[in-house]
Structure formats: C-alpha cells, structure tokens
Amino acid sequence: MDISKLRAQTGYITLDDGYGNTGSCESAITFIDGDKGILRYRGYAIEEVAQHSSFIEAAQLLIWGELPTKAERDRFGQLLGENAALPEPMRRHFSSFPPSAHPMAILSAMINALQAYDLPHLKIDTPEQFEVAAASLISKVRTLAAASYKSSIDEALVYPRPDLKYAENFLHMMFSKPYQEYVPTPEVAGALNLLLVLHADHEQNCSTSTVRMVASSQANLYASAAAGVCALWGPLHGGANQAVIEMLEQIEEQGISVKDYVARVKDKTAGVKLMGFGHRVYRNFDPRASIIKKAADALLDKMHIQDPKLELARELEAAALSDDYFTERKLYPNVDFYSGIILKAIGIPIDMFTVMFAIGRMPGWIANWKEIHDNPTARIYRPRQIYTGPTPRPFVERRDRHHGIRS
C-alpha cells in the first residue's frame, strides 16, 4: 500500500515504531521470505551462491545485478589489487589509537578518513568512477581491518599482496609478520570466504537502511559506508556475533547449566537475551544459520578442534527449539549464532568479529548506495513523527529559574 499521499489526502500519517511493517524503498537487490526462510541475491538462492560463488563474485552480483563473466571478474580483481594498499600517511593514523580502541570505532573513523585521501573516488559521475570507488572500498575495508588488529597488538602493519585472493590477502595481512609469511589452509580461507558471502547483503536491515538514509542526502559512498559501520556495531545487530561468544563464555565461566540459562532468558526481569536468536523478518530458520552451522562442524573437524562452545551452542539451540517460549515467539538461530565459532577457529580475535561482518556487508551497502545514486527521482529520507512533548509555554527568564520557577 503506497501511503505517500495519505497526509495530503487525509491529514493523517502512519506510525510504525521500528519500521516493523513499513517499506522504505523499492529495491531489486535482495529478496527475503521470512516465513519460508528464503534468501536470494538478485534472484539466486543463497544456498547456491554460497556453494558456487567467491565473495567477490557475490559482490559483483549484488552491486551490478549479474554474475560476472571471466573478463568482468578479472577486471574487478585487478582493481581490487590496485586499490588494496592504504595511502602511506594513513598508516600512521593507527599508531595514534590506544590499543584498547574497539576495531569498529577505528574502522568507521578510518573509512571516513579515507575521504581525505581517496578524493578522486568521492565524485562519482560515471560508471567507471563508481567501479573504482567500489573496488577501493571493498579492498581497503579489509586492509583497514587488518591494520587495526596489528596496531592493537603493537605489531608492524603488513602490506597487501596483489597476487592473493580476497580472503587469503586479508588473512595474510592479519597473521603474517614482516619476517614470517602466514599461509592459510584452503579450509580456513574457504570458511572465511563462505562467511563473507553469507553476510554480503540482507535487504533493509538496520545498517543498510542507515546507508540508504545517508545516501539519500547525496552524501558520498564513504560517508554512507562509515555510517553503516556505526549502525552495525550495536549488539542487537552485527554486534551480536561478539555477544554470542561472550554469552557462551559467561555460561562456561559461571558454570550455568543450559536449563538455568534458558530459564533466565524466559524470566523477563533478568533482561537476559539468547544472543544470536530471533530476527525481525525470519519467523523460521535463518537459512544462513543452517549453512554456517554445517560449515562450523566441517571446519572444526578438519582442524581437529574440539571447541566446547560449539557443543554448548548446540545444546542451547536444542533447548530453545524444544521450548514453547521460543517457538511461540518464532525465535530461531540467526546468522550470528554460529558465525563466531568459525571466526574463533580461524584465529580472529573476538573484538574483530563485528568488523568481519562489516567486511562481508560492504558490497550490500555499496549496492544499496548505488540504487539511490542511480535513481534520478530519489528523494531525501525524512520520516514524520507523532509529537508527545510539552504544549506551548512562555519562556522562563534566568533570574526566575534561579528561584526555582520552572514555568
């Protein structure tokens, strides 16, 4: 139902706290059927994209609408390689952050700072300029993330290698040292590639809507992406992958039984949530959670890792799915419930988990920014409100206020 003329025709507006039932735009990028647990990128089922596509192919699909030909993939891969390194002066910024700085704070700050260096990419008037800007942001977000990690452990920043694929290059910058090359196993690189594909877009989630909100004022791509990083950080959104592992650690350290923890979640007064569970749209399994759960099993088996947190997560899931509290509220595992198990096995530190989500989501943010940028009739996002503040009242002079007079 198009309500855009409702106020002009009736004087009424609609109210929908949290936009739970309000479409903010028309978009051709990603389709979700929450009741059936369906997710498609440009019409392709997520299960197929996850099985057959690299992260960069999925990125090109989301941004330009088609699976790339070899020539398109090679050209974009070349642009990613050419734009992976940070401007030298930017590398010095990292030493000014304290080691305790959260990598999401650094990431949003440094994506904004990129605007000062990637000036040619701020003005996007042609498809070629957009392609280079998109490649630069997708490539550099990985370099910025690895640099924030290296600076937090007081190690030398590692330059990207243009000969490495996307996930391998990131892991190289994270774990290599100037005197010792880190080479990930195919299983580790494959698991990271899969996680990035699965996080690449998810229609109008909180951070993507934020990117569109900022893009609607005709702000540039970097400013919009930096805003997306900030929205993603919250524990109700992308921060949940870190919160899930912290929840599992708390249960382990405090020796809480699964039964008792589930009881705490159900006891509203405790304010305890089962992190990694529930979703505004999925009222069924999140298809990404099912794929990640299988991948976590396979990777830990391949790496001969016995992670008690995986077993604990499985027990929590089983307890929740057999409890009416969760099934009546249609609360199922979401993308964040098992992703941390894989990230932990790869060696990604927990405070970098949401940064990994941001690296994965970057193509989706760019695709949504492009949809607004390419739309000549796009309008600035400016919602209305229901005012609930004070009725008109006379100003109270300072001298009166000193005597406690308020109105």
Q: What is the dihedral of CA 94, 99, 105, 108, to 10 degrees?
A: 20
- Phi/psi for 122 (5° steps) reads -80, -30
Q: Which has the closest alpha carbon to 169: 146, 152, 151, 153? A: 146
How open is the CA angle 88-91-93, to the nearest 5 degrees? 125
Could you say which of 172, 199, 202, 279 is catalytic?
A: 279
Distance CA 29, CA 58 (A): 11
State in angstroms the smallest separation of the CB of 266 from ligand SDX: 8
* C-alpha separations of 309 from 118, 295, 348 in Å: 42, 15, 15
Q: Which residues of 206-230 are buried (b: 16+ CB within 10 A; e: fewer)?
A: bbbbbbbbbbbeebbbbbbbbbbbb
The H-or-E segment that residue 33 falls in is strand 30-33
State in angstroms the smallest separation of the CB of 282 from ligand SDX: 8
State in angstroms the smallest separation of the CB of 337 from ligand SDX: 7
Q: Which is nearer to ligand SDX, 206 or 303 (CB)?
A: 206
Q: Which is nearer to ligand SDX, 25 or 206 (CB)?
A: 206
Mapped onto helix, strand or coil, the DSSP state of residue 30 is strand
Active site residue 279: yes
Q: What is the dihedral of CA 128, 363, 108, 276, to 10 degrees?
A: 180
Q: Which is nearer to ligand SDX, 173 or 265 (CB)?
A: 265
Q: Which is nearer to ligand SDX, 37 or 276 (CB)?
A: 276
State in angstroms the smallest separation of the CB of 336 from ligand SDX: 5
Could you say which of 118, 201, 286, 336 is catalytic?
A: 336
> How many residues does this entry show for the chain?
407
State in angstroms the smallest separation of the CB of 339 from ligand SDX: 10
State in angstroms the smallest separation of the CB of 238 from ligand SDX: 6
Q: Residue 30 class from Cβ within 10 Å (0-12 exposed, 13-18 middle, 19+ buried)?
A: buried
Return residues touching ligand SDX (CB under 6 A): 202, 205-206, 236-238, 240, 265, 273-281, 329, 331, 334-336
Q: Work out the number of other CB atoms within 10 angstroms of the CB of residue 400.
A: 12
DSSP β-bridge partners for residue 272:
none
Question: Nearest residue to ligand SDX, using CB?
Answer: 278
- Helix, strand, coil share of the chain (percent; to 5): 60, 5, 40
Active site residue 336: yes
State in angstroms the smallest separation of the CB of 149 from ligand SDX: 22
- What is the residue-wise DSSP string for 208-240? HHHHHHHHTTT--HHHHHHHHHHHHTSTTTTTH
Active site residues: 279, 336
